Amino acid sequence: MNLLFPGIGILANVLGIIGGGLLGLGCGRLISERFQKTIMMSCAVAVIFLGLTGTVKEMLHIGSDGAVMLVGTNCMLASLIGGAVIGEAINLEDRMECFGRWLQQKTGSGGDTRFVEGFVMASMTVCIGAMAVIGSINDRLLSAPSVLFAKTAIDAVVVMIMTATLGRGCIFSAISVGVFQGIIFLLAGFLEPIMTSAALKSLSAVGNILIFCVGTNLFGLPHVRIANLLPALVIAVAWELV
Protein backbone atom coordinates (compact mmCIF):
# COMPACT_ATOMS: atom_id res chain seq x y z
CA MET A 1 0.00 0.00 0.00
CA ASN A 2 1.44 3.32 -1.09
CA LEU A 3 1.06 5.88 1.69
CA LEU A 4 2.64 8.71 -0.32
CA PHE A 5 -0.58 9.88 -1.94
CA PRO A 6 -0.79 13.36 -3.52
CA GLY A 7 -1.52 15.87 -0.76
CA ILE A 8 0.14 13.99 2.08
CA GLY A 9 2.85 16.66 2.28
CA ILE A 10 0.29 19.41 2.89
CA LEU A 11 -1.55 17.24 5.41
CA ALA A 12 1.72 16.55 7.25
CA ASN A 13 2.54 20.27 7.25
CA VAL A 14 -0.83 21.17 8.77
CA LEU A 15 -0.61 18.44 11.42
CA GLY A 16 3.02 19.33 12.19
CA ILE A 17 2.10 22.95 12.88
CA ILE A 18 -0.81 21.91 15.10
CA GLY A 19 1.40 19.47 17.01
CA GLY A 20 4.22 21.97 17.43
CA GLY A 21 1.74 24.65 18.49
CA LEU A 22 0.09 22.44 21.11
CA LEU A 23 3.49 21.53 22.51
CA GLY A 24 4.46 25.19 22.62
CA LEU A 25 1.17 26.08 24.31
CA GLY A 26 1.89 23.59 27.07
CA CYS A 27 5.45 24.85 27.47
CA GLY A 28 4.28 28.46 27.55
CA ARG A 29 2.13 27.78 30.60
CA LEU A 30 5.11 26.38 32.49
CA ILE A 31 7.60 29.20 31.97
CA SER A 32 7.62 32.68 33.46
CA GLU A 33 7.01 35.90 31.55
CA ARG A 34 10.72 36.77 31.84
CA PHE A 35 11.70 33.53 30.12
CA GLN A 36 8.99 34.01 27.49
CA LYS A 37 10.35 37.45 26.62
CA THR A 38 13.89 36.11 26.24
CA ILE A 39 12.65 33.23 24.10
CA MET A 40 10.71 35.68 21.93
CA MET A 41 13.83 37.78 21.36
CA SER A 42 15.77 34.62 20.49
CA CYS A 43 13.05 33.64 18.02
CA ALA A 44 13.15 37.12 16.49
CA VAL A 45 16.93 36.95 16.05
CA ALA A 46 16.64 33.50 14.45
CA VAL A 47 13.91 34.62 12.00
CA ILE A 48 15.86 37.77 11.07
CA PHE A 49 18.99 35.69 10.51
CA LEU A 50 17.13 33.15 8.36
CA GLY A 51 15.55 35.88 6.26
CA LEU A 52 18.79 37.80 5.85
CA THR A 53 20.94 34.82 4.93
CA GLY A 54 18.27 33.52 2.55
CA THR A 55 18.15 36.85 0.74
CA VAL A 56 21.93 37.21 0.55
CA LYS A 57 22.23 33.64 -0.75
CA GLU A 58 19.95 34.47 -3.69
CA MET A 59 21.18 37.98 -4.44
CA LEU A 60 24.91 37.86 -3.72
CA HIS A 61 27.00 36.99 -6.76
CA ILE A 62 30.75 36.50 -7.02
CA GLY A 63 32.09 37.16 -10.50
CA SER A 64 34.87 35.26 -12.25
CA ASP A 65 37.24 38.07 -11.24
CA GLY A 66 36.31 37.65 -7.58
CA ALA A 67 34.22 40.83 -7.47
CA VAL A 68 31.23 40.65 -5.12
CA MET A 69 27.99 42.20 -6.35
CA LEU A 70 24.26 42.17 -5.68
CA VAL A 71 22.01 40.91 -8.47
CA GLY A 72 18.26 41.24 -8.88
CA THR A 73 18.01 44.58 -7.10
CA ASN A 74 15.65 46.02 -9.73
CA CYS A 75 13.37 43.01 -9.35
CA MET A 76 13.48 43.35 -5.57
CA LEU A 77 12.59 47.06 -5.62
CA ALA A 78 9.83 46.63 -8.21
CA SER A 79 8.37 43.66 -6.32
CA LEU A 80 8.35 45.30 -2.90
CA ILE A 81 7.07 48.69 -4.05
CA GLY A 82 4.53 47.22 -6.46
CA GLY A 83 3.48 44.65 -3.88
CA ALA A 84 3.01 47.34 -1.25
CA VAL A 85 0.79 49.40 -3.57
CA ILE A 86 -1.38 46.41 -4.52
CA GLY A 87 -1.46 45.01 -0.99
CA GLU A 88 -2.49 48.33 0.57
CA ALA A 89 -5.14 48.80 -2.13
CA ILE A 90 -6.83 45.51 -1.24
CA ASN A 91 -5.73 45.71 2.43
CA LEU A 92 -4.72 42.10 2.97
CA GLU A 93 -3.42 42.77 6.48
CA ASP A 94 -6.76 44.02 7.78
CA ARG A 95 -8.54 41.10 6.14
CA MET A 96 -6.23 38.65 7.88
CA GLU A 97 -6.70 40.44 11.19
CA CYS A 98 -10.49 40.34 10.75
CA PHE A 99 -10.29 36.61 10.13
CA GLY A 100 -8.05 36.28 13.19
CA ARG A 101 -10.60 38.14 15.33
CA TRP A 102 -13.33 35.85 13.98
CA LEU A 103 -11.26 32.81 14.94
CA GLN A 104 -10.60 34.35 18.34
CA GLN A 105 -14.33 34.73 18.92
CA LYS A 106 -15.30 31.29 17.59
CA THR A 107 -12.65 29.50 19.66
CA GLY A 108 -13.54 31.29 22.88
CA SER A 109 -10.14 32.97 23.06
CA GLY A 110 -11.40 36.46 23.89
CA GLY A 111 -9.11 36.64 26.90
CA ASP A 112 -6.02 36.02 24.78
CA THR A 113 -4.94 39.57 23.92
CA ARG A 114 -2.19 38.38 21.54
CA PHE A 115 -4.33 35.87 19.63
CA VAL A 116 -4.64 37.91 16.42
CA GLU A 117 -0.99 38.99 16.53
CA GLY A 118 0.12 35.39 16.96
CA PHE A 119 -2.11 34.17 14.14
CA VAL A 120 -0.87 36.77 11.65
CA MET A 121 2.81 36.49 12.66
CA ALA A 122 2.88 32.70 12.52
CA SER A 123 0.89 32.60 9.27
CA MET A 124 3.36 34.92 7.56
CA THR A 125 6.32 32.91 8.84
CA VAL A 126 5.12 29.49 7.67
CA CYS A 127 3.44 30.50 4.38
CA ILE A 128 6.12 32.72 2.83
CA GLY A 129 8.92 31.10 0.90
CA ALA A 130 9.82 28.97 -2.08
CA MET A 131 9.50 25.72 -0.11
CA ALA A 132 5.74 26.22 0.20
CA VAL A 133 5.37 26.76 -3.55
CA ILE A 134 7.72 24.15 -5.01
CA GLY A 135 6.80 21.64 -2.29
CA SER A 136 3.09 21.86 -3.09
CA ILE A 137 3.75 21.54 -6.83
CA ASN A 138 5.93 18.45 -6.29
CA ASP A 139 3.35 16.97 -3.95
CA ARG A 140 0.66 17.22 -6.64
CA LEU A 141 2.49 16.39 -9.85
CA LEU A 142 5.21 14.02 -8.68
CA SER A 143 3.71 12.59 -5.48
CA ALA A 144 7.02 13.68 -3.95
CA PRO A 145 6.34 15.32 -0.56
CA SER A 146 9.97 15.41 0.64
CA VAL A 147 10.21 19.21 0.40
CA LEU A 148 7.03 19.66 2.45
CA PHE A 149 8.20 17.03 4.96
CA ALA A 150 11.36 19.09 5.51
CA LYS A 151 9.24 22.25 5.78
CA THR A 152 6.99 20.50 8.30
CA ALA A 153 9.91 19.87 10.64
CA ILE A 154 11.02 23.51 10.43
CA ASP A 155 7.49 24.90 10.82
CA ALA A 156 6.72 22.69 13.82
CA VAL A 157 9.73 24.03 15.73
CA VAL A 158 9.09 27.65 14.74
CA VAL A 159 5.38 27.51 15.66
CA MET A 160 6.20 25.73 18.93
CA ILE A 161 8.49 28.58 19.96
CA MET A 162 6.11 31.28 18.75
CA THR A 163 3.12 29.69 20.52
CA ALA A 164 5.03 29.54 23.79
CA THR A 165 5.33 33.33 23.71
CA LEU A 166 2.46 34.64 21.53
CA GLY A 167 -0.21 32.15 22.53
CA ARG A 168 -2.69 29.84 20.86
CA GLY A 169 -3.34 32.11 17.87
CA CYS A 170 -0.14 30.73 16.32
CA ILE A 171 -1.64 27.24 16.14
CA PHE A 172 -4.30 28.47 13.72
CA SER A 173 -1.61 29.34 11.19
CA ALA A 174 -2.22 25.71 10.19
CA ILE A 175 -5.38 26.98 8.47
CA SER A 176 -3.37 29.57 6.52
CA VAL A 177 -0.86 26.92 5.42
CA GLY A 178 -3.60 24.50 4.43
CA VAL A 179 -5.43 27.10 2.32
CA PHE A 180 -2.31 28.68 0.76
CA GLN A 181 -0.56 25.44 -0.13
CA GLY A 182 -3.84 23.81 -1.06
CA ILE A 183 -4.48 26.47 -3.70
CA ILE A 184 -0.98 25.99 -5.12
CA PHE A 185 -1.58 22.22 -5.07
CA LEU A 186 -4.76 22.61 -7.13
CA LEU A 187 -3.08 25.01 -9.58
CA ALA A 188 0.11 22.95 -9.84
CA GLY A 189 -0.37 22.05 -13.50
CA PHE A 190 -0.61 25.72 -14.42
CA LEU A 191 2.20 26.87 -12.12
CA GLU A 192 4.83 24.23 -12.97
CA PRO A 193 5.98 25.73 -16.32
CA ILE A 194 5.93 29.22 -14.78
CA MET A 195 8.20 28.36 -11.85
CA THR A 196 11.49 28.42 -13.73
CA SER A 197 14.77 28.43 -11.83
CA ALA A 198 15.02 32.21 -12.29
CA ALA A 199 11.45 32.71 -11.05
CA LEU A 200 12.09 30.53 -8.01
CA LYS A 201 15.28 32.45 -7.28
CA SER A 202 13.42 35.78 -7.32
CA LEU A 203 10.55 34.33 -5.29
CA SER A 204 13.00 33.05 -2.69
CA ALA A 205 14.88 36.37 -2.48
CA VAL A 206 11.73 38.48 -1.99
CA GLY A 207 10.15 35.87 0.27
CA ASN A 208 13.19 35.90 2.55
CA ILE A 209 13.00 39.69 2.78
CA LEU A 210 9.43 39.31 4.05
CA ILE A 211 10.61 36.69 6.54
CA PHE A 212 13.24 39.20 7.71
CA CYS A 213 10.37 41.67 8.27
CA VAL A 214 8.56 39.06 10.39
CA GLY A 215 11.64 39.01 12.62
CA THR A 216 11.72 42.79 12.98
CA ASN A 217 8.04 42.74 13.96
CA LEU A 218 8.75 40.10 16.60
CA PHE A 219 11.51 42.37 17.90
CA GLY A 220 8.96 45.15 18.39
CA LEU A 221 10.55 47.48 15.83
CA PRO A 222 8.28 49.76 13.74
CA HIS A 223 5.55 47.43 12.48
CA VAL A 224 5.74 46.23 8.89
CA ARG A 225 2.36 45.27 7.40
CA ILE A 226 3.76 42.08 5.91
CA ALA A 227 0.45 40.70 4.62
CA ASN A 228 0.12 43.82 2.48
CA LEU A 229 3.48 42.98 0.90
CA LEU A 230 2.45 39.47 -0.21
CA PRO A 231 1.67 40.57 -3.81
CA ALA A 232 5.42 41.22 -4.07
CA LEU A 233 5.87 37.45 -4.40
CA VAL A 234 3.66 37.37 -7.50
CA ILE A 235 5.47 40.35 -9.01
CA ALA A 236 8.85 38.71 -8.35
CA VAL A 237 7.80 35.67 -10.40
CA ALA A 238 6.18 37.77 -13.12
CA TRP A 239 9.33 39.91 -13.42
CA GLU A 240 11.35 36.87 -14.54
CA LEU A 241 8.70 35.84 -17.05
CA VAL A 242 8.35 39.17 -18.86
Element (DSSP H or E) covering residue 64: none
Q: Chain-centre distance of CA 142, in angstroms? A: 23
Count other Cβ atoms within 10 Å, centred on residue 236.
27
**pTM, whole model, 2 decimals?**
0.80
Q: Nearest to residue 163, comparing CAs of 15, 29, 10, 46?
A: 29
Phi, psi of 105 (to 5 degrees): -70, -45
Q: Nearest to residue 160, comparing CAs of 22, 6, 31?
A: 22
- pLDDT tens digit string along 127-169? 887 778 888 888 888 778 888 998 898 889 889 888 988 889 9
In sequence order, what are the residues at sequence separation of 6 or more whose Cβ sits closer than 8 angstroms to the Cβ of residue 10?
Answer: 136, 139, 148, 177, 178, 181, 182, 185
- pLDDT tens digit string along 68-80? 777 888 989 999 9
pLDDT of residue 172: 95
Give the single-character DSSP code of 172. Answer: G
